[in-house]
Amino acid sequence: MWCPYIGDSHKAKYIVIADDLETGIRSGTVLPGEKLPPQRELAEMLSVNLTTVSRAYREAERRGLVKGVVGRGTFVSAGVTKTLEQPKSAMFKAGEIEMGVVFSLNHLEPTLEEGLSSVSSKQDLSGFRCYSEPAGLPDHLAIGAQWVAQFGFDVGSERVVATAGAQHALTCTLMACFKPGDTIAVDCITYSGLKNLAAMMNIRLAPIEMDEDGMRPERLRAACKSHLIKGLYLMPAFHNPTGTTMSVKRRQALLRIIEEHRLLLIEDDPYYFLASTMQPAMSSFVPEQSVFISSFSKILHAGLRVAFVVCSATLREHMANAVYNTIWMAPALNMAVICNAIVGGVVEQVIEDKIAEATHRNHMAWAMLPFLEDRLPGKGFYLWYQLPEAWTGYAFEAHARSRGVNINCAEQFAVGSPDVAPAIRLCLTAVETRQELTLGLSHIVDILEAGPGEL
């Protein structure tokens, strides 16, 4: 069990304790899910007063290191080591089979040269050398307004902001709409990029229990009554990492709570085209208290970093200021390439091609992996795979990496709670060829068949 060393330091003792815990987590001597000593017990061990330990635990929670569970104690947050680390370089490691990072069949996209050539044939590129309005160029915003109409929005360009991808849109949203110490409700298993961003900005995440239909409304309502929650982050269509798509009934139940408690809905929808049925965005029903993010990184030219954000007129001014204070503006040439592809029908064709390939790869996974007999093959870019109970996600991820396969376990996506059902997210579209996918899946099957004891 972790026990900090205080020693002689000019820092306040509660800071020293919190620093020692963070060092332990960084070094791997303190593990995610590990239970910390009760506060009174630790105070006696260190010969300090209880208030010092209580402040240390609060400081550790502020840093995103720990999470208190009522009636059970304080635990090291699941996935916290991922938050503290820089993005791992495994995604660029030669010879490793990438099944962790969600790359999106980039080889099925037209070349960037084609996109640039098409843009240059229609307009003078010299104008893109200059600064432009932080919210985006009028022509691009008009196309953005037309694009988001498919999600149920009937808005003009004055409600749209251009950002440099979804992660930048999330950064601007947190900057514009929240302050350090604010709390946002999220799925108990959620997008790791939001976890890392919130930790950097000292914004708290309140994990809400999920079921097979997504976030449970009654759990969200209870959290709103017991905590001061200002926002709600959701991926209603093909949730990352579980692949869940919310039913209409579930969306309606959550919308009632959003309106009742005046929450700001942050709706992130990068995988909308993978959902079985197209539903209007939840944000379209609460346009004055929502931010809707529609990005293109999983559709076309991820490296260009392009996204459209829809929000209220009031929030739009704050969002534009956040864009200005981060990168001044989303690169207009990048936006021009994507907008031209939208108007020219390229985006629609690329989506069709990628869905066809992703569907085939899902059938491959269904044919090779055990325990999938109870569900039909889908068309997602990734697969949420429940492991046998003998495993932990961390252990399986480590074994896979030792076999040259990079995957992500459930703990990397968990918020707060140490109790995570063993599961992994397998990206089926990161590798370029089906042969490489077959090899990666075969390694996963071998590990499952051997079991944790044998390995």
Q: Which of the listed residues 295, 329, 344 is the one where a domain comes to its end? A: 344
Q: What span, in angstroms and rounded, lies between the C-alpha atoms of 330 and 324?
A: 9
88 pLDDT above the threshold of 90: no
Q: Which of the listed residues 344, 371, 395 is the one where a domain comes to its end? A: 344
236-267 residue pLDDT tens = 999 999 999 999 999 999 999 999 999 999 99
Q: What span, in angstroms and rounded, lies between the C-alpha atoms of 149 and 153?
A: 5
* DSSP conformation class of 150: G
Residue 60 included in any domain: yes
- The arithmetic mean of pLDDT across residues 218-223, rounded, is 96
- The arithmetic mean of pLDDT across residues 120-128, rounded, is 91
Identify the CATH number of the domain in which residue 60 sits: 1.10.10.10
Contacts of 99 (CB under 8 A, 6+ apart): 405, 406, 407, 426, 427, 428, 430, 431, 437, 440, 444
Same-domain status, 381 and 430: yes
* pLDDT at 87 (0 to 100): 45
Helix 332-343, helix 346-368: angle, nearest 10 = 80
Same-domain status, 253 and 356: no
83 pLDDT above the threshold of 60: no
The four Cα atoms 52, 416, 182, 229 give a dihedral, to 10 degrees, of: -120
Same-domain status, 92 and 117: no
381-429 residue pLDDT tens = 999 999 998 888 888 998 999 999 999 999 889 887 656 789 999 999 9
Residue 48 included in any domain: yes
Full residue range of the structural domain in which residue 25 is found: 13-77
Residue 3 included in any domain: no
Same-domain status, 204 and 333: yes
Same-domain status, 193 and 246: yes
Same-domain status, 386 and 440: yes
**Does residue 4 or residue 81 have the better pLDDT?**
4
Task: Report which secondary-structure segment, H or E, holds 97.
Answer: strand 97-98
Same-domain status, 325 and 355: no
Q: List, in sequence order, the alpha helices (H) in 33-125.
A: 39-46, 50-62, 80-84, 112-120
Confirm whether pTM is higher than 0.85.
Answer: no
* DSSP conformation class of 63: T
Structure tokens at 355: 């869905």
Same-domain status, 282 and 216: yes
Residue 4 included in any domain: no
Residue found by looking up tokens 């093909």 in the block: 238
Contact 357, 105 (CB under 8 A): yes
Residue 295 included in any domain: yes
Residue 97 included in any domain: yes
69 pLDDT above the threshold of 80: no
Q: What span, in angstroms and rounded, lies between the C-alpha atoms of 159 and 315?
A: 9
Same-domain status, 180 and 308: yes
* pLDDT at 65 (0 to 100): 86
Q: In terms of Cα–Cα distance, which of 398, 396, 383, 395 is closest to 430?
A: 383
Identify the CATH number of the domain in which residue 257 sits: 3.40.640.10
Q: In terms of Cα–Cα distance, which of 345, 346, 338, 274 is closest to 301?
A: 338
Amino acid in the structure at residue 267: E
Residue 1 included in any domain: no
Same-domain status, 276 and 138: yes
Contacts of 58 (CB under 8 A, 6+ apart): none
Q: In terms of Cα–Cα distance, which of 197, 219, 453, 176 is closest to 321?
A: 176
Residue 46 included in any domain: yes
* pLDDT at 68 (0 to 100): 82
Q: What number of residues does the chain have?
A: 455
Structure tokens at 100: 């962790």
222 pLDDT above the threshold of 90: yes
- The arithmetic mean of pLDDT across residues 64-69, rounded, is 82
Same-domain status, 93 and 33: no
Rounded to the nearest integer, the mean pLDDT of the chain is: 91
The structural domain count of the chain equals 3
Lowest mean pLDDT among 19-33, 243-257, 303-317: 19-33
- The arithmetic mean of pLDDT across residues 53-57, rounded, is 94
Q: Which of the listed residues 344, 369, 395 is the one where a domain comes to its end? A: 344
Same-domain status, 91 and 195: no
Across 113-125, b (16+ Cβ under 10 Å) vs e yields eebeebbeeeeee
